[in-house]
Structure 1
Amino acid sequence: MVPVGAGAGYAVDAPTPPAASSQAASDTFPQLNPAMARKLDAAIRKVMTDAKVPGVQVALSAPGKGEYVRAFGVADKATRAPMTDNLNMRIGSETKTFTVTALLKLVDEHKIGLDDPIGKYIDGVPNGELITLRELAEMRSGLFSYSADEDFYKALTSNPRRPFTPQELLEYAFKHPVLSAPNAKFYYCNTNLILLGLVVEKVSGQKLADYITKEVIEPAGLKHTVFPAGAEFPDPHAQGYTDQTASGKVEDAADWNPSWGWAAGAMISDLQDLRQWAKVLATGELLTKATQAQRLKVVNALPGTGYGLGIFNVQGWIGHNGSIPGYQTLTIYDPQYKATLVVLLNTDISAEGEEPSTLFGQAITKIVTPDHVYTLPAQPVTGDH
Structure 2
Amino acid sequence: MDGVHRAGMPGVYAEVRDAGQTWRGASGVADVRTGRPVRPDMRQRVGSITKTFTAAAIMQQVEQGRIQLDAPIGGYLPRLVPGERGRKITVRMLLNHTSGISDYLPYAFPSLQGLPSAPDVSPESLDDNRFRQFRSAELIEMGLTAPPVGEPGGPTGVYSNTNYLLLGQLLEQVTGTTAEEYITRNVIERAGLRHTEFPAGPRIKGPHSRMYEALYGLIDPPRDYSVYNMSWVGPSAGLVSTMEDLNRFYGKLLDGKIVNQSSLAQMQRTLPVRALDGSTIEYGLGLHKVGIPGCGTFWGHDGTVWGAGTMSLTRADGERQMSVAINLVRWNKLDSSGKPQHHPIDDALSALYQQAMCGNGNAQVENASQVPAFVP
TM-score normalised per structure 2: 0.82
SS in 2 for 1:344: strand
**Matches of 1:369 and 1:332, distance apart in 2:** 18
Matched, 1:314 2:285: no
- Aligned ranges 1:214-225 → 2 under 5 Å: 214-225=185-196
Aligned length: 336
Matched, 1:60 2:16: yes
- Is the 1:158–1:246 Cα contact (8 Å) retained in structure 2? no
1:22-65 Cα shifts (integer Å, max 9, x gaps): xxxxxxxxxxxxxxxxxxxxxx2223333x2111111111115x
Equivalent in 145, 155, 168 of residue 103 of structure 2: 145
Moved more, 120-129 or 353-362: 353-362
Computed over aligned residues only, the root mean square deviation of the Cα atoms, in angstroms, reads: 2.7
Tell me which residue corresponds to 2:225: 253
Letter in 1 for 2:326: L
**Matches of 2:215 and 2:141, distance apart in 1:** 22
Over the matched positions of the two proteins, sequence identity in percent amounts to 31
Equivalent in 28, 31, 44 of residue 89 of structure 1: 44
Tell me which residue corresponds to 1:21: none
Moved more, 278-287 or 203-212: 278-287
SS in 1 for 2:250: helix
Tell me which residue corresponds to 2:371: 376
**Matches of 2:75 and 2:236, distance apart in 1:** 21
Equivalent in 190, 197, 200 of residue 161 of structure 2: 190
With a CA cutoff of 8 Å and minimum separation of 6, indicate the structure with the bigger relative contact order: 1
- Is the 1:141–1:182 Cα contact (8 Å) retained in structure 2? yes
- Aligned ranges 1:334-353 → 2 under 5 Å: 334-336=315-317, 338-351=319-332, 352=341
- Is the 1:152–1:172 Cα contact (8 Å) retained in structure 2? no
C-alpha deviation, 1:244, in angstroms:
4.0
Summarize the Cα distance change of 1:220–1:380 in structure 2 as closer, same or farther, 3 Å threshold: closer
**Matches of 2:9 and 2:356, distance apart in 1:** 16
Matched, 1:208 2:203: no
Letter in 2 for 1:291: S
SS in 2 for 1:69: strand
Summarize the Cα distance change of 1:111–1:377 in structure 2 as closer, same or farther, 3 Å threshold: closer
- Is the 1:137–1:193 Cα contact (8 Å) retained in structure 2? yes
Q: List alignment gaps of at least 5 residues for structure 2.
A: 113-123, 292-296, 333-340
Summarize the Cα distance change of 1:304–1:367 in structure 2 as closer, same or farther, 3 Å threshold: farther
C-alpha deviation, 1:257, in angstroms:
1.2
- Aligned ranges 1:8-157 → 2 under 5 Å: 44-50=1-7, 52-63=8-19, 66-122=21-77, 123-125=79-81, 127-149=85-107, 151=110, 153=112, 155-157=125-127
Matched, 1:289 2:261: yes
C-alpha deviation, 1:232, in angstroms:
2.8
- Is the 1:241–1:349 Cα contact (8 Å) retained in structure 2? no
**Matches of 1:347 and 1:281, distance apart in 2:** 29
**Matches of 1:183 and 1:379, distance apart in 2:** 26
1:3-33 Cα shifts (integer Å, max 9, x gaps): xxxxxxxxxxxxxxxxxxxxxxxxxxxxxxx
C-alpha deviation, 1:307, in angstroms:
0.7
Summarize the Cα distance change of 1:283–1:304 in structure 2 as closer, same or farther, 3 Å threshold: farther
**Matches of 1:282 and 1:337, distance apart in 2:** 7
**Matches of 1:232 and 1:72, distance apart in 2:** 24
- Is the 1:229–1:259 Cα contact (8 Å) retained in structure 2? no
Summarize the Cα distance change of 1:168–1:311 in structure 2 as closer, same or farther, 3 Å threshold: same
1:103-150 Cα shifts (integer Å, max 9, x gaps): 111011111111111111222427121011101100111110001335
TM-score normalised per structure 1: 0.80
Equivalent in 207, 219, 241 of residue 269 of structure 1: 241
